A = this chain, B = another copy of it.
Amino acid sequence: MTVELICVGTELLMGNIVNTNAAFMAERCAVLGLDCFYQTVVGDNEERLSETIKQAVGRSDIVILSGGLGPTEDDLTKETAAKVMGKDLVMDEKAWKHITSYFEKRGLELTENNRKQALVPAGSMVLYNKNGTAPGIIMEDEKCRIILLPGPPIELKYLWQEKVEEYLKSLSGDVLVSEMVKICGSGESKVETVLKDLIDAQSNPTIATYAKTGEVDVRVTAKGNDEKECKKLLKPVVKEIKKRFGSKIFTTDENVTLEMAVMQILNENKMTLTTAESITGGMIASRLINVPGASDVIKVGFVTYSNKAKRKYLGVKRSTLDKFGAVSEQCAKEMAKGGAAAAKSDVCVAITGIAGPGGETADKEIGLTYIAVSVAGKIKVKEYRFEGSREKIRTTATTSALTLLRHCLLENLTEKTFGE
């Protein structure tokens, strides 16, 4: 079966935003074994949008549109797609109820144009949207299937995971099973080199690598008649990848994030954590706290961006700051030690670096970062040199801190096991 993606929005055509929705949907379609030959971006213009939909319907089995479902007059996707399929728009009372309660809860004033979002093509499936006001839509006729999804990624992903994925699975004949091996602490080209022979020889299962910031995900996908057959095909390949990357693999569960893997280790070992952040300014704590149940583990997070705060809250010595500077191995070490002591936690992760622009010195360039982890009084420090914009440096630094934290926790647990 073939699928085609149409992303609607002037902000894409003007380059205001990067089309992450297309990448997300394309990846999921590939996993489901759907062939995607075209992706198109088109603006909020009825004529061009209509022509684009007609062309897609003519050459693909499934057409997925995202964007243009908002309440404004600019938003034409639903109206245009319904016209192409020859369907009228009718009021969906459940969608309207959802919209009114969405506004009420936020204390926002409902405006007349919000009613537009509760109109749906007659006879279509309505995908109610917990994360926003625009429902998703699935329309079918004998020639084609059209799926409409809202543009905001958080809404699109929610509807995809809750409704669209299941629907697409029900259409596809082949069974596809994939496993995601997530690796931290190795770059993409390193991962590809280590796996080169497997990638060159691939047929079924296939192997694809996805570079994330500070993380590489390897997807292994098998095609077969049933799940059992697929799993049998997957097993030896996944085993070989695991052998090659060992403890750098933090999960083989698609839904597990690096912060979830870290929190699980802390939870299982009843360890408490403190964060002491300078360059990342709260990003490490924020990612860890995105894992539900964090309050049992995280005693406190300190954002100590200034030298004064490093001294006051973490007990970093003035002499250390004077002699080595705030971005130094010594300072990172004292931050980790002081953070754990101040909060009486088992573990502390501390980070200090130069995110730029500005702040570099003759011997310290932008991107230089020190991460220290204290586990039960034992401290490890590592030096990093990150590259890119301020935001890129801070994001990469955050993932690197979680990676080092995980590494130190595993090391400590192994030692404990051997020591006992």
Q: How far is the CB of A210 from chain B (nearest CB, A)?
A: 5
**This chain's copy number in the assembly:** 2
* C-alpha spacing A386/B131, complex, angstroms: 10
State the main secondary structure of chain A at its contact with B. Answer: mixed
User: B14 contacts A26, CB within 8 Å?
Assistant: yes
User: B211 contacts A70, CB within 8 Å?
Assistant: yes
User: B384 contacts A106, CB within 8 Å?
Assistant: yes
Q: How far is the CB of A366 from chain B (nearest CB, A)?
A: 11
Task: Check: A309 CB closer than 8 A to any chain B CB.
Answer: yes
User: B298 contacts A303, CB within 8 Å?
Assistant: yes
Report the contact-size class of chain A (Cβ under 8 Å from the partner).
Answer: 35 or more
Task: Check: A37 CB closer than 8 A to any chain B CB.
Answer: yes
User: B23 contacts A22, CB within 8 Å?
Assistant: no
Task: Check: A420 CB closer than 8 A to any chain B CB.
Answer: no
Task: Check: A36 CB closer than 8 A to any chain B CB.
Answer: yes
Measured between beta carbons, the chain B residues less than 8 angstroms from A154 are: 213, 388-389, 391-392, 395
User: A19 contacts B22, CB within 8 Å?
Assistant: yes
Q: How far is the CB of A92 from chain B (nearest CB, A)?
A: 18
Task: Check: A300 CB closer than 8 A to any chain B CB.
Answer: yes
User: A387 contacts B188, CB within 8 Å?
Assistant: no
* C-alpha spacing A265/B147, complex, angstroms: 45
User: B302 contacts A301, CB within 8 Å?
Assistant: yes
Q: Which of A10, A25, A308, A390 is the most central at the interface, judged by chain B CB atoms within 10 Å of its CB?
A: A10
User: A306 contacts B301, CB within 8 Å?
Assistant: no
User: B22 contacts A26, CB within 8 Å?
Assistant: no
User: B190 contacts A108, CB within 8 Å?
Assistant: yes
Q: How far is the CB of A21 from chain B (nearest CB, A)?
A: 10
Q: How far is the CB of A43 from chain B (nearest CB, A)?
A: 6
* C-alpha spacing A112/B193, complex, angstroms: 8
Quick one: given A282-B277, A388-B154, are A357 and B292 in contact (CB under 8 Å)? yes
Q: Which A residues from 262 to 313 make CB contacts under 8 A with B?
A: 275, 277, 280-286, 288-290, 292, 294-296, 298-309, 312-313
